[in-house]
Amino acid sequence: MKYTNRQKILIVDDEPLNISIVAEILRDEYDLLVATNGEKVLQIVSSDPKPDLILLDIMMPGMNGFEVAKVLKKNPDTVNIPIIFLTAKHDNESIVKGFELGAVDFVSKPFQKEELLARLKNTLQIFNLRNALNRALEKSQQYAKTIESQMRLIDKNIIISSTDLEGKIIEVSDAFCKISGYSKEKLIGKMHRILRHPDMPSSLFMKLWETITNGETWHGEIKNKTKNGSFYWLDILIYPIVDDLGNKSGYTAISQNITDKKRVEELSVTDQLTQLHNRMYLENSFSKEIKRAKRYNHSFAVIMLDIDHFKEVNDTYGHDVGDNVLVGISKILSEHIRETDILGRWGGEEFLIICPHTSTSEAYALAEKLRVSIETHPIDVIGHKCCSFGVSAFDLKDETYKEVVKHADEALYTAKNNGRNQVIQYTLNPS
């Protein structure tokens, strides 16, 4: 099959001679279709490809040209095909009626070849341009609809917030509102501190603000508080909003909900009975503290404690009561350690506290305070319980945490042998 890009002209006239004359003029530049009556015209335009232009005679038997034009202009499939009346009727009434029916031009018979070609070209150029504009407009509208649809999806599913240069919220997505529990009206104009969870250190936000105000992008994880008091974790990317001239107008934060991921991480480093850190977390914390101690040339201390006569609790009252004792002492320890201390269950009835940037004497004082708090605090069923403590400090010459833990354990063993319910500080040559 031969394909052509030439435009297609439908010549309509009930006189074959007239069709031949017009065809002779047009055949070098256009592909031609012919019809000798209105019914044939409607048949031709009902299939694709449709003609690009129709040269239509007015005076025809059956359906005349006006009636054909009226049908074509009522049909949405043919309404945009330009019609030029090629006719001997050139009175004002006919011309007015033809234009009212949607014709774009009139060519009177007899006509000059050059006139017919010029009118055809002008009409086709105008309609080609109009069609191109319509297609561009349609694409633009489709693109706008696509963008609008994508923006709705983003608003619904992506956690986004924007602030001005002072940090006041100026825009939030629906997804942001959903996870925080606040409406847009409650968030707009507020600072992000409305969401700040007390677990997050102020130093993190100071570093965040310093980074973005310097025009850099900040990336990190933040624990936020919801309106109802629960929490969620976000992996956040915050970057400055800059115009074409380089002027900064605010900041945008794009976040990912990582609450489930953080919960899994937390479960992996949490003792399920006491909800304290587990041994794995403590061992990881040792690695961080050793690096920090060596970098800044300061030591840290370790407190190890053990519940006195714990086996008797299990043997006398059962393991459920024993578990309650572990939980109760865990709460006492949590309430009385310092904010920077790292508390965890080392194993069984043993607990361990890492005390950053702390001397042995300071750790001893803390251990003594904890010992008294436990001794004086009643526990259900069994009444009061005591603990023995061992304290040691990390030696900067050591490469691992094992020596400091060993020394704390040795001090704890001494406390047990000396009668329990006491704090012993490790020394190189204990007496």
Residue 399 lies in a domain: yes
Residue 351 lies in a domain: yes
Largest CA distance in the chain: 133
Of the residues 210, 244, 262, the one at which a domain ends: 262
Residue 1 lies in a domain: no
The domain that contains 400 carries what CATH number? 3.30.70.270
Residues 363, 355 contacting (CB under 8 angstroms): yes
On whether both 351 and 241 belong to a single domain, the answer is no
CB atoms within 10 A of CB 426: 22
- Dihedral of CA 301/307/311/317: which sign? negative
- Dihedral of CA 326/327/332/337: which sign? positive
Q: Which domain holds residue 332?
A: 269-425
On whether both 334 and 416 belong to a single domain, the answer is yes
Q: What is the pLDDT of residue 431?
A: 46
The single-letter code of the amino acid at 71 is V
H or E stretch covering 120: helix 113-157
Alpha helices in 273-398 (DSSP H): 279-296, 310-317, 319-336, 360-376
On whether both 297 and 416 belong to a single domain, the answer is yes
On whether both 302 and 415 belong to a single domain, the answer is yes
Sheet holding 301-307, edge to edge: 342-347, 350-355, 301-307, 387-393, 423-425
On whether both 290 and 333 belong to a single domain, the answer is yes
Residues 376, 386 contacting (CB under 8 angstroms): no
Instruction: At 357, list the tokens.
Output: 């940037």
Report the candidate in 126, 68, 30 with the shortest Cα–Cα distance to residue 86: 68
Of the residues 134, 149, 167, the one at which a domain ends: 134
On whether both 284 and 172 belong to a single domain, the answer is no
Of the residues 227, 262, 297, the one at which a domain ends: 262
Residue 65 lies in a domain: yes
On whether both 400 and 286 belong to a single domain, the answer is yes
DSSP assignments along 246-263, one per residue: S-EEEEEEEEEE-HHHHH
**Tens digit of pLDDT per residue, the chain (431 long)?**
344 578 999 999 988 899 899 999 999 999 999 999 999 999 999 988 899 999 999 888 888 989 999 999 999 999 989 999 888 877 788 888 888 888 888 888 888 888 889 888 988 888 888 888 888 888 888 888 887 888 788 888 889 999 999 999 999 999 999 999 999 999 999 999 999 999 898 989 999 999 999 999 999 999 999 999 999 999 999 999 988 888 899 999 999 999 988 888 888 889 999 999 999 999 999 989 999 888 888 889 999 999 999 999 999 999 999 999 999 999 999 999 998 999 999 999 999 999 999 999 999 999 999 999 999 999 988 989 999 999 999 988 888 899 999 999 999 999 999 999 999 999 875 44
- In whole angstroms, what separates CA 358 from the centre of its chain? 42
On whether both 211 and 176 belong to a single domain, the answer is yes
CB atoms within 10 A of CB 263: 12
DSSP assignments along 45-72, one per residue: HTSSSPPSEEEE-S--SSS-HHHHHHHH
DSSP assignments along 164-215, one per residue: -TT-BEEEE-HHHHHHH---HHHHTT-BGGGGB-TTS-HHHHHHHHHHHHTT
On whether both 323 and 357 belong to a single domain, the answer is yes
Residue 346 lies in a domain: yes
On whether both 200 and 235 belong to a single domain, the answer is yes
On whether both 318 and 399 belong to a single domain, the answer is yes
**Rounded Cα gap, residues 38 and 14, in angstroms:** 9
Report the candidate in 261, 241, 379 with the shortest Cα–Cα distance to residue 323: 379
Report the candidate in 318, 429, 337, 428 with the shortest Cα–Cα distance to residue 382: 318
Q: What is the pLDDT of residue 348?
A: 94
∠ at Cα 395 (394, 399), nearest 5°? 95
Overall domain count for the chain: 3
On whether both 123 and 27 belong to a single domain, the answer is yes
Residue 139 lies in a domain: no
Q: What is the pLDDT of residue 2?
A: 46
The domain that contains 26 carries what CATH number? 3.40.50.2300
Half-sphere exposure of 92 (CA within 13 A, CB side): 0
Residue 3 lies in a domain: no
CB atoms within 10 A of CB 58: 23
Residue 430 lies in a domain: no
Residue 195, strand partner residues: none
